[in-house]
């Protein structure tokens, strides 16, 4: 359980630190339609405020507090579930920390800014990706995949 806490803590800190740099030091929001090539064309900084969920779904609706509530409930459930499980390995604890740390990073954005600050854009091979994401999004995705791969999902197999 300690591994979950520390993974979540460091992911949360990394997410908030990168957002601070992009929002206040680079001041990307003050430069509309501006992007910075970090490793062109693969990695670009491009500001986007996401009021919805993945890929901006439901962004037309004012769901700020609903999405905050959903993220907190899911985070609480994951912590409860991981704490309750007895026969899971190190990677399951790390995965839970990734998911919870990322979710809480996006919760802070929604609470403070009313939207999630997305700024990482990746394109490749002539395909122009219009979407941006952040460290929290990567962590949530990796954590969810990890929980699927590194836990048994509660299915206890009985031996004959």
**Interval 35-62: pLDDT, tens:** 888 887 789 899 989 887 664 555 555 7
Domain assignment of residue 131, yes or no: yes
- pLDDT-wise least confident of 99-108, 130-139, 146-155: 146-155
Query: Total structural domains in the chain?
Result: 1
- Residue predicted with more confidence, 38 or 12: 12
- Report the alpha-carbon distance of residue 158 to residue 150 in Å, rounded: 19
Domain assignment of residue 83, yes or no: yes
Tell me the average pLDDT of the chain: 88
Q: Which two tokens stand for residue 111?
A: 């609470």
Domain assignment of residue 28, yes or no: no
Active site residue 15: no
- What pLDDT score was predicted for residue 12? 98
Domain assignment of residue 74, yes or no: yes
Confidence of residue 92 (pLDDT cuts 50, 70, 90): very high
Catalytic residue among 60, 118, 152, 155: 118
> How far is the CA of 24 from the CAs of 17, 57, 106, in angstroms?
10, 27, 17
Domain extent for 83: 2-23+37-150
Domain assignment of residue 31, yes or no: no
Catalytic residue among 37, 60, 62, 137: 137
- Report the alpha-carbon distance of residue 64 to residue 90 in Å, rounded: 34
Active site residue 152: no
With 0.95 as the threshold, say if the pTM is over it: no
Neighbours of 106 (CB within 10 A): 27
- What pLDDT score was predicted for residue 54? 60
Domain assignment of residue 158, yes or no: no
For 62-88, write each residue's pLDDT tens digit. Answer: 788 999 999 999 999 999 999 998 889
Domain assignment of residue 53, yes or no: yes
- What pLDDT score was predicted for residue 70? 94
Domain assignment of residue 87, yes or no: yes
Using H for helix, E for strand and C for coil, what is the string for 83-94?
HHCCCCCHHHHH
């Amino acid at each position: 359980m300690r591994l979950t806490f520390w993974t979540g803590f460091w992911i949360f800190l990394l997410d908030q630190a990168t957002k601070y740099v992009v929002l206040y030091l680079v001041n990307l929001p003050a430069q509309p339609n501006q992007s910075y090539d970090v490793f062109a064309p693969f990695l670009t900084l491009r500001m986007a405020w996401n009021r919805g969920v993945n890929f901006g779904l439901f962004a037309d609706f004012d769901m700020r507090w609903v999405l905050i509530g959903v993220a907190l409930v899911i985070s609480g459930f994951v912590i409860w579930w991981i704490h309750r499980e007895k026969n899971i390995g190190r990677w399951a604890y790390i995965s839970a920390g990734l998911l919870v740390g990322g979710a809480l990073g996006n919760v802070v954005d929604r609470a403070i800014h009313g939207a999630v600050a997305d700024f990482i854009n990746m394109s490749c091979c002539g395909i122009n990706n219009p979407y941006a994401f952040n460290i929290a999004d990567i962590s949530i995705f990796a954590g969810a995949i990890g929980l699927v791969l590194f836990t048994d999902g509660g299915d206890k197999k009985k031996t004959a």
